[in-house]
Amino acid sequence: MNDPVEYFSSEDWTLGVIGLGYVGLPLAVTASERGLGVIGFDVSGSRCAELMAGRSHVEDVSDGELGAALDRGARFTSDPTELGAADALVICVPSPLGRNRQPDLSYIEAAARTVESVLRPGQLVSLESTTYPGTTEDIVAAAVDRAGLTIDDDVWVVFSPERVSPGDTMKTGEIPKIVGGVTRMSSAVGAAAYSRIVSAVHSVSSARAAEMAKLLENTYRAVNIGLVNEMAQLAFKLDIDIWEVVDAAATKPFGFQPFYPGPGVGGHCIPLDPQYLAWRAKEANFATRFIDIAEQVNTMMPSYNADRIAALLNERGLPVFGTKILGVGIAYKPDIGDDRESASLDVLDELRRRGADVVVLDPLVGDDRIRHHGYEPAGDDLSGYALAAVLCDHEVIDYERLAASVPVVFDARAAYRKRGIEAGNVVPL
């Protein structure tokens, strides 16, 4: 390959995607739509079989979109040797926290071993999994060295953080990509490759800068959510409606971005990513005070919500213990069926720990996942509950019927305010 930048900019090369979850599968389908060949790899043979049969397990990829990719020649396999035919290898595997909230890089390390086993000259390797600064150099570049190849002479290595937002209308190809290489040449090659897949690419000077940019994005959100969650508690003490306050402040056309309180923070990014940055900071003997305070506030919000619900029951002469409560919405954000790291579940778990009889209504998450968490799904009859707690406000919920069916609704998401529904028995967070 004489000029890798020109090759990845103009030729119809083949993308290899390692990990076919909520990041990898949309990337694979988008690359196929852009005219590239696609080889998707996942350690789950059953997942690959389902994908090859045209059945998508990711909400943001329809069966129709997947089928079209298959018709264009995309293939999905649990055989890692097939990745040797790809020109670019993109790692899209989970990067969770361990039991003690420390980074768990085991999936990235396993993916790097897969890369090492198939790597050949002329390939680009990109890590998209969120992680702390230095991971791409320490794990992916090290795998290149173990494979006996040289960066820039043989292969190129970059970090390009995933930016998917499940349930949003903006698709993978429409979201600008940050690309940072372990060398300047790697950055140029990576930017050329991603320019074939997405609408805009922003190059940075290093993989470490790209890694930190991703952590800054979600730490910014976590800190501001922590701020408004603390303000919500103060507003309640002062008998002020926090939702009215945020809406009023948001009328300022500059200098203010609205964030809203709720049961806590959930999903695959905001509860996890700041802890990756905080952990790396501790290694550098640096105190991340804003991150730590926001973490404390956000992790205590489920207990605060449970306390508010207990107080509402107490006002009506009811204990938490033995009282039937309807939890409405256990996804981590509205209008998706994803319950990963959901703070809504933390609220219900706390109520159950206190002895409440909790039943769950969430048509998007579905009855199987509700039972997976140890709760009974609600039926069509919404009467018989002492209280309903709206913890995730899906559009499919009939909120007027809900308020008419139960004595009191605790609304942690301002579902009624947002929809202009007036009900005297609704109590906002």
Please give the Cα distance from 129 to 149 (Å, whole number).
23
Q: Is 137 exposed, middle or buried (0-12, 13-18, 19+ CB in 10 A)?
A: middle
Q: Is the dihedral of CA 324, 326, 330, 333 positive or negative?
A: negative
Please give the Cα distance from 79 to 220 (Å, whole number).
39
Nearest to 337 by CA among 305, 360, 304, 356: 360
User: Choosing from 48, 92, 269, 392, which is the catalytic residue?
Assistant: 269
Contact 140, 151 (CB under 8 A): no
Q: How many angstroms separate the Cα of 50 from the Cα of each of 74, 127, 315? A: 14, 25, 52
* SS3 of residue 41 by DSSP: strand
Structure tokens at 381: 């009859």
Please give the Cα distance from 41 to 92 (Å, whole number).
10
Q: For residue 147, give the amino acid letter.
A: A
CA atoms within 13 A on the CB side of 294: 24
Question: 269 an active-site residue?
Answer: yes
Q: What is the 3-state secondary structure (H, E, C) of 197-251?
A: CCCCEEEECCHHHHHHHHHHHHHHHHHHHHHHHHHHHHHHHCCCCHHHHHHHHCC
Give the residue numbers annotated as catalytic, written as ranges. Answer: 269
